Amino acid sequence: MELINSLLNIQSVSGNESQMTEFLIHIVTKRQSRWKVQPEIYYGEQFHDCLLLKFGQPQTAVFSHIDTIGFTVRYENHLVPIGGPEIEHGMKLVGKDRLGPISCSVKEQDGVLLHDFPRAIDRGTLLSFEQEIITDDEFIQAAYLDNRLGIYNCLRLCEDLQDGWVVFSTYEEHGGGSMPFLLKFIQETAPIKHALISDITWITDGIHHHEGVVISMRDKLIPRKSFLNRIVSLAEKSKIPFQLEVEGQGSSDGREIQFSPYAIDWCFIGAAEDNVHTPYEKVSLKDLESMVLMYKYLLRYL
């Protein structure tokens, strides 16, 4: 929980993920001696704000995006959304510009988003949801569970991963842009055949809290059926609780794998949340645990 709390308190709106990258480098450096296998670590300007860990001889990569939705400050107190935040009147935002820290509320007026900070904010400043973490025995509720829990899942996976890439990508919430160069680097360094997307999905009519991690059979994009069949058959063998989703909307880092110049099978696997893209996203702790277990299982047997 301490790790999840730390992840939830770092700001990394799409386009400005460097703080999260630094934290992850710190965590990896601190923890890796306790991991079963020591990964090769790749980061730096050549990778912008992304981070890659290569364990052993990979056949599979796990991708977790480290950016979040948020807002860019315009002029005349206007805000422009980053990704697709749900807007509620009075919702609290935080950030920082050259004059200091910012805390303000949002309102929507004639289709325009406005902040109420008493002074002008530097143009281009990034704001994100004020964080409030609420946990009980069953649930965690906070802003940005999507995708801090996906990151958490990856760090847990590292503990006993023998062969595989663990990759932290940027810009996912705003259409992507890091996956193409990450995939190029991976395929030219230690190529993969399969990719799993460690991300958070939605509670729907067919997906319920506490019933296990979600294996998405499709969203707006469609993974290859033969790969889905293999994943589902392994999931059944694992005895770990899981649910199957079929959606017509939404997408993930899987989209950029689908359209990449590499023949890589991909599948989105993650816990489901209520209140998507609000400051109070909510995930079942049981589903999170089955997500962690399922990734450990699949990376072993895939």
Residues in contact with its own copies by CB under 8 A are 14-16, 18, 45-49, 72-76, 78, 80-82, 123-124, 126, 171, 174-178, 180-181, 183-184, 193, 205-206, 217-218, 221-226, 228, 232, 244-248, 258-263, 265
Pick the closer one to its own copies by CB: 6 or 258.
258
Quote the least distance from Cβ 136 to its own copies, whole Å: 29
Quote the least distance from Cβ 64 to its own copies, whole Å: 18
| Matching residue, tokens 């991690």 | 213
218 C-beta neighbours (distance < 10 Å), count: 17
DSSP 44-113: SGGGTT-EEEEESS-SEEEEEE--B-EEEE-STTEEEEES-PPP-TT-EEEEEETTEEEEEEEEEETTEE
Pick the closer one to its own copies by CB: 141 or 243.
243
Quote the least distance from Cβ 77 to its own copies, whole Å: 11
Pick the closer one to its own copies by CB: 7 or 228.
228
Pick the closer one to its own copies by CB: 47 or 152.
47
Quote the least distance from Cβ 123 to its own copies, whole Å: 4
Quote the least distance from Cβ 62 to its own copies, whole Å: 20
Pick the closer one to its own copies by CB: 99 or 222.
222
Write phi, then psi, for 12 (nearest 5 degrees): -155, 65
DSSP 195-246: EEEE--EE-BTTB-TTS-EEEEEESSS---HHHHHHHHHHHHHHT--EEEEE
